[in-house]
Amino acid sequence: MDEVVARAVAVLRRGGVIALPTETVYGLAADVANADAVARVYAIKGRPRDHPLIVHVHDADALDGYVAAVTPALRALAERFWPGPLTAIVARGPRTPLGVTGGQETVAVRVPAHPLARAILAAFGGALAAPSANRFGRVSPTSAEHVRADLGDEVDLVVDGGPAQVGVESTIVDLTGAVPAVLRAGAITPSQLGAALGRPVVTRVGGGVRAPGTLAAHYAPRARIVLVERNARDAEAQRLANAGARVALLSLPDDPAAAAHTLYATLRALDADGYDAIVATLPPDIEANAAVRDRLTRAAAAN
């Protein structure tokens, strides 16, 4: 592990771009302070420059200068959920360039839990700007193989840390308003956030600050996602097949965490098998399923 970390840090310090594992999905990382490296991240992904990146640090103490202040709310969430799959949006500090925030005076910050990501951040000693390591708008990678398939040799180094444990992107909570608001669903739910903060947390769709991964159409495989009610799934699959499409039925585990863990890998496997359409049903509308429901809804909107 030490040799891998040393190689990754050397690439980052010379202005390179690496793919690194996190517990959510694989990230495409560059030195926050290196404008050229950050520009490469945007270019490799094909990501619009007004779409902000998440700033990753080793621990909450390393936020100094990257955020305007570690507010009581941010401190409470950091103590409860970091390292882990939570991104907080707060006021930008002077060490965070506007080129990372999409021109906004807010910054999205996170402390990842994956041991390799943490070791790289600790050895690097600074912050890394890291969106998911895939083409913009497509299915996020949950393995090093996914990164290589998407980005090939455009990345200077792919750090293989095995399959991502969570499997979907981090929860994003906006702490800049009067009421904390979840902008992107993830493994950590609004109820859990509210319990840590001692006050309600709402879910907001649209408006306010721009946040990663919140476009209406996103997370899409090449195959068309068709969402139907459960009792109409087989009939819709047959209709599409009769029209000449190669059709797959998306099958996910009933357990919400297991469904999230397997979602992207399953979509990528169906893409690799050459299906034209994937017929899916949303899991039950409970808080624990919010992330999978969100990703499938956005993927279907990309058709």
Q: What is the pTM of this model?
A: 0.95
Q: What is the pLDDT of residue 67?
A: 99
Contacts of 122 by beta carbon, 8 Å cutoff, 6+ apart: 58
Q: Hey, what domains does the chain have and what are their CATH numbers? A: 2-203 (3.90.870.10), 224-301 (3.40.50.11030)
Beta bridge partners of 145: none
Answer whether residue 208 shows pLDDT above 90: no
Comparing CA positions, the residue from 232, 252, 174, 251 lying closest to residue 208 is 174
| Cα–chain center distance at 301 | 18
Q: What is the pLDDT of residue 216?
A: 66
Answer whether residue 1 shows pLDDT above 90: no
* Cα–Cα distance, 286 to 61 (Å, whole number): 35
Q: What is the pLDDT of residue 219?
A: 82
Which tokens hold the place of 212?
Answer: 């990663």
Answer whether residue 251 shows pLDDT above 80: yes
Q: What is the pLDDT of residue 89?
A: 98
Comparing CA positions, the residue from 155, 114, 108 lying closest to residue 127 is 108
Question: pLDDT digits over 106-140, tens only?
Answer: 999 999 999 999 999 999 999 999 999 999 989 99
Question: pLDDT digits over 28-60, tens only?
Answer: 999 999 999 999 999 999 999 999 999 999 999
Q: Angle between the 290-301 and 256-272 helix axes, to the nearest 10 degrees?
A: 30
User: Percentage of residues in the chain with pLDDT exceeding 90?
Assistant: 93
Q: What is the pLDDT of residue 218?
A: 76
Task: Summarize the confidence of residues 13-33 as an average pLDDT.
Answer: 99
Which tokens hold the place of 112?
Answer: 């990842």
Residue with tokens 């965490």: 257
- Mean pLDDT score of the chain: 96
Comparing CA positions, the residue from 233, 236, 222 lying closest to residue 276 is 222
Residue with tokens 């819709």: 236
* Cα–Cα distance, 130 to 240 (Å, whole number): 38
Strands (E), the chain: 18-20, 27-31, 54-56, 86-91, 106-110, 128-129, 157-158, 171-174, 181-184, 202-203, 224-227, 247-249, 277-280
Question: pLDDT digits over 286-297, tens only?
Answer: 999 999 999 999
Count Cβ atoms within 10 A of the Cβ of residue 137 and give its class: 0-12 exposed, 13-18 middle, 19 or more buried: middle
Question: pLDDT digits over 155-202, tens only?
Answer: 999 999 999 999 999 999 999 999 999 999 999 999 999 999 999 999
Side by side, which strands form the sheet with 86-91? 157-158, 18-20, 27-31, 128-129, 54-56, 106-110, 86-91, 171-174, 181-184, 202-203
Q: What is the pLDDT of residue 176?
A: 96
Which tokens hold the place of 101?
Answer: 């925030």
Neighbours of 239 (CB within 10 A): 14
